[in-house]
Structure 1
Amino acid sequence: MSGKPEIWFYHLERSTLDQVLPTLLEKTLERGWRALIKSAHAHRLDDVDERLWSFHDESFLPHGRADQPHADRQPVLLSESGENLNGAQALFIVDDAELGVTEGFERCFIIFDGRDEPALQHARGRWKTLKEQGANLAYWRQTDEGRWEKAA
């Protein structure tokens, strides 16, 4: 593992966070990685928590909250602080939460709603700052068919 993770921006245009995040988490767990979801808003974490229990009728994504017992044992951890209590390799940033320290992560996902002008502007500013810092960046956007393609 290098000191600098890959930082992937996911520009939501056709799908919502509730539609995209569970799929990304499934792929993360299939890799054998753990995940940390960081939001600055407790209500967003409540929404994500509920969605991860119910996004498939026949299954759920195993997860827990950082402020609950056994946070270190959770494959997917939801957190306001972003402290990597579960030793996650993947960090998911939602709702313009601060990226914070990225050492120790293999990949960071910054997911933003391109239909929300303030979120779009924040993401553009974040991209510019990270690029100037020499971060390993990738930019993903949805095609008209809803598939993801690497655009930068």
Structure 2
Amino acid sequence: MAPRVQFYHNAENPLALACELAARAYGSGRKVALRTRDAASARQLDQLLWSFEQQSFVPHVMAGSPLAGETPVVIGHAEAPNEWPHSEILFNLADDIPPGHERFRMVIEIIGQGEAQKLPARARWMHYKQQDLPLQAFDAIRREAL
């Protein structure tokens, strides 16, 4: 089954939005893969998941960890190939098409406010559209469909 693809445009802080959406997905019993642009962003996201909500805990590990298969939220990055241990939701914060995205039930693209993020996002949108994947776009600030 082909994945549904959602784009969250205009995110003020893409990493914070990824944390929020991943926490919500985890809270509803889903397994999540978070893919950032590079190792530094992955470490930043790891730290943010520990601290972004004082009253909640989102169990997570880095891709490649021996515990990845048992952990509901796994963080990886585009600089290293990732074998994701599960295939429910993939959050992409990198500029390229995630390899293996077709095996996920849902792909969520989080796009920042700068032109440097918007241009590659348009190319990804066109790629998914050419694959005839179901697409939805949301404004990340207003949290409404576009």
- TM-score, scaled relative to structure 2: 0.89
Larger radius of gyration: 1
For 1:37-52, list aligned pairs within 5 A.
37-52=34-49
Q: How many Å apart are 1:97 and its aligned residue? A: 4.0
The one-letter amino acid of 1:5's match is P
Of 1, 6, 9 in structure 2, the residue corresponding to residue 8 of structure 1 is 6
- 5+ long unaligned stretches in structure 2: none
Q: Which residue of the partner structure matches residue 108 of structure 2?
A: 109
Q: What is the CA–CA distance in structure 2 between the aligned matches of 1:97 and 1:56, rounded to whole Å?
A: 29
Q: Which residue of the partner structure matches residue 96 of structure 1?
A: 95
Computed over aligned residues only, the root mean square deviation of the Cα atoms, in angstroms, reads: 1.6
1:121 aligns with 2:119: yes
Which structure 1 residue ranges, 4+ long, deviate > 6 Å from structure 2?
A: none
Deviations 1:30-77 (A, max 9, x none): 332100011230000000000000011233311001122211111100
For 1:1-152, list aligned pairs within 5 A.
3-13=1-11, 15-80=12-77, 81-85=81-85, 87-113=86-112, 115-142=113-140, 146-151=141-146
Q: How many residues align?
A: 143
| Percentage of matched positions with identical amino acids | 27
Q: What is the CA–CA distance in structure 1 between the aligned matches of 2:134 and 2:6, rounded to whole Å?
A: 8
How has the CA–CA distance of structure 1 residues 97 and 52 changed in structure 2, closer, same or farther, with 3 Å as cutoff? farther
- TM-score, scaled relative to structure 1: 0.85
Q: What is the CA–CA distance in structure 2 between the aligned matches of 1:116 and 1:73, rounded to whole Å?
A: 36
- 5+ long unaligned stretches in structure 1: none
